[in-house]
Structure 1
Amino acid sequence: MRYLKDIPHPQAKIGLYSWNSKYIIKIEAGPYEQTYKVAEFDVSGPDEVETLLSPLFMERVLLRFQEMDKDWGEAIDAAF
């Protein structure tokens, strides 16, 4: 996997990678990560991939991180 660049965001770490004819977007917040894959032929290049990260999309990604944290907390509570 080849690192291309970081995409600035105030609440998450976003890295853009290229691998196997796909762009891979890794979004990290705390101990959690979400990964999205975009076929290279579906966009004109890395800059267009960045435009896919609209405010609405990122809002939903951040909500999903909250859900992940809640699910993980419940799993830990149930185990102990």
Structure 2
Amino acid sequence: MRVVANIPHEACKITVFAWNGKYLIKFEQAMLEQTYKVNEFDITGDNDIKKLLDDVFMNQILERFHQMHRNLNDALERI
């Protein structure tokens, strides 16, 4: 697996990997992470990856982080 790009974002860390015919787009925020796999044939490279990360998709990613954080906190409170 090799790093293809680090894409700056104010709310999370975004790293793009190339591995086994796929791009892995990894989003990290605090102790949480989300990874999306995209077939290399579905996009043509760095420019398409950046287009994929539009405002709508990024808002969904950030909302999912918020939900994941809530879920983890709720689970920890039940211990």
TM-score, scaled to structure 1: 0.94
Residues 57-80 of structure 1 show CA distances to partners (whole Å, capped at 9, x for unaligned) of: 10111011010000000110001x
Output the amino acid matched with 1:55. Answer: D
CA contact (8 A) 1:23 1:37 kept: yes
Aligned length in residues: 79
CA shift for structure 1 position 46: 2.4
Gaps of 5+ in 1: none
Output the amino acid matched with 2:78. Answer: A
Q: Cα RMSD between the aligned structures?
A: 0.7
Output the amino acid matched with 1:74. Answer: D
| Alignment match, 1:58 | 58
| Alignment match, 2:32 | 32
Higher helix share: 1
Q: Distance in 2 between matches of 1:49 and 1:20?
A: 17
Q: How does 1:11-22 map to 2 (within 5 A)?
A: 11-22=11-22
Q: Identity over aligned residues, as a percent?
A: 42
Q: Distance in 2 between matches of 1:12 and 1:35?
A: 13
